[in-house]
């Protein structure tokens, strides 16, 4: 039996040149069948869904999601928790994400890896893989992480991380703490090795890039800054044309001027919006417990009592708005930083991140204020 076509009509489809009226997105099953003009005969014969003049963007892809919906992945490394986190974030247009486990024990890390595998096998919407942010980090740049759990990767750790997994595996590590041969081994096994929470020099970071590091976790935060005589990790990140940089665009982690500098310095397509989101996103409660500390999100800032940033209360739709309003980017480029560019970083650009025929039918439908009203994942519609 042929799968019927759904036509998304009366929307403003975001193209590379900005929003365009008069285009219709045809969806068959999980995929985009075609994007056509409204007078195309296939539109008449399809089941029509009225977008009511709203913007249609590619669904957002977030490579750093610690929690949402009141759930912290570290506290509940289960399939059920992943479903809750995913449901919280899809209210804000996120159609794909990497659940992120911050520094924890080997046992919790293995449970998290297995939970993500099981979630993908069971079809939990949006789960694309896992991001392990630690525990191979530098005490000098620990941030909110529990430094008592920092360690060098053991043979058992490496076996668990490099085992054939169902989704993407991203690993944030301090490049000065992990031997270059281990970085090379991880990269050659298909792990996306990313520098973060690191006190490395420019030279050390450059060597790690040559060994297989492909990006930087929350650029500027928890890494050596750019200096005039020692460019540091930030200098290596901005100078390298091939690596990706995650940016938390909440107005608290990074000043808008520093964001503009980074985006201008990086090659086009290498700056990626991330949230570093914590349980308050999509939850009525601003509180969560991390490493035994109660964190309360106030005015959009998640901080410990000592003033240390503890993730964020940011969602991807707000991040896109901030890129437009705070940083001054055109909507089309802000959208790409939230969809096409992270898809490319994850090696999923053939199937995710753009509005073209053959891609997964993952959409964010926004009103004129860039507030999400609908989210579509693999052709299934969810109200915000």
Instruction: Compute the distance between CA of residue 216 and CA of residue 289 in angstroms, rounded to an integer.
Output: 26
pLDDT at 141: 97
pLDDT at 384: 85
The two structure tokens encoding residue 72: 């912290």
Instruction: Compute the distance between CA of residue 185 and CA of residue 375 in angstroms, rounded to an integer.
Output: 38
Instruction: Compute the distance between CA of residue 313 and CA of residue 288 in angstroms, rounded to an integer.
Output: 11
Query: Which domains, ranges and CATH numbers included, belong to the chain?
Result: 5-57+355-383 (2.30.40.10), 60-345 (3.20.20.140)
Output the CA torsion 195→197→202→206 (10° steps).
Answer: -10
Binding residues for substrate: 144, 221-222, 229, 253, 309-311
Residue 276 is among the residues annotated as catalytic for this protein: yes
Binding residues: 133, 144, 197, 218, 221-222, 229, 253, 309-311
Binding residues for Zn(2+): 133, 197, 218
Q: How many residues does the chain have?
A: 384
Q: Which mean pLDDT values do the consecutive 10-residue runs of the chain (384 residues) have?
A: 91 88 97 96 94 98 98 97 98 98 97 98 98 98 96 96 96 98 98 98 98 98 97 98 98 96 97 97 93 89 89 97 97 97 98 96 97 98 92
The two structure tokens encoding residue 348: 């999923």
Choose, from 62, 104, 276, 315, the residue flagged as catalytic. Answer: 276
């Amino acid at each position: 039996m042929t799968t019927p076509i759904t036509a998304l009509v009366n929307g403003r489809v975001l193209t590379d040149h900005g929003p365009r009226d008069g285009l219709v997105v045809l969806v068959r099953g999980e995929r985009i069948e075609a994007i056509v003009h409204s007078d195309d005969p296939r539109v008449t014969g399809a089941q029509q869904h009225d977008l009511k003049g709203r913007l249609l963007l590619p669904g957002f892809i977030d490579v750093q999601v610690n929690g949402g919906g009141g759930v912290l992945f570290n506290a509940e490394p289960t399939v059920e928790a992943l479903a809750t986190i995913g449901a919280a974030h899809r209210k804000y247009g996120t159609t794909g994400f990497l659940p992120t486990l911050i520094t924890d024990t080997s046992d919790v890390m293995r449970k998290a890896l297995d939970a993500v595998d099981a979630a993908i096998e069971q079809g939990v919407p949006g789960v694309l893989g896992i991001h392990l942010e630690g525990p191979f980090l530098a005490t000098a740049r620990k941030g909110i992480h529990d430094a008592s759990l920092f360690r060098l990767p053991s043979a058992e750790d490496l076996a668990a991380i490099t085992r054939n997994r169902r989704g993407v595996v991203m690993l944030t590590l301090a490049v000065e703490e992990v031997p270059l041969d281990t970085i090379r081994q991880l990269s050659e096994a298909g792990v996306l090795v990313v520098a973060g929470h690191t006190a490395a020099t420019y030279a050390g970071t450059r060597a790690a890039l040559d060994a297989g590091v492909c990006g930087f976790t929350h650029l500027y935060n928890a890494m050596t800054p750019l200096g005039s005589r020692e460019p540091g990790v930030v200098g290596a990140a901005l100078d390298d044309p091939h690596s990706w940089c995650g940016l938390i665009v909440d107005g608290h982690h990074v000043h808008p001027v520093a964001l503009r500098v980074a985006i201008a310095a990086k090659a086009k397509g290498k700056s990626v919006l991330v949230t570093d989101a914590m349980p308050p996103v999509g939850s009525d409660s601003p509180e969560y417990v991390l490493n035994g500390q109660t964190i309360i999100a106030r005015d959009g800032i998640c901080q410990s009592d000592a003033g240390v940033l503890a993730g964020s209360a940011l969602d991807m739709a707000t991040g896109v708005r901030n890129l437009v309003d705070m940083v001054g980017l055109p909507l089309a480029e802000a959208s790409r930083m939230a969809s096409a560019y992270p898809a490319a970083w994850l090696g999923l650009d053939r199937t995710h991140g753009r509005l073209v025929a053959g891609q997964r039918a993952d959409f964010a439908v926004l009103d004129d204020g860039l507030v999400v009203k609908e989210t579509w994942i693999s052709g299934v519609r969810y109200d915000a």
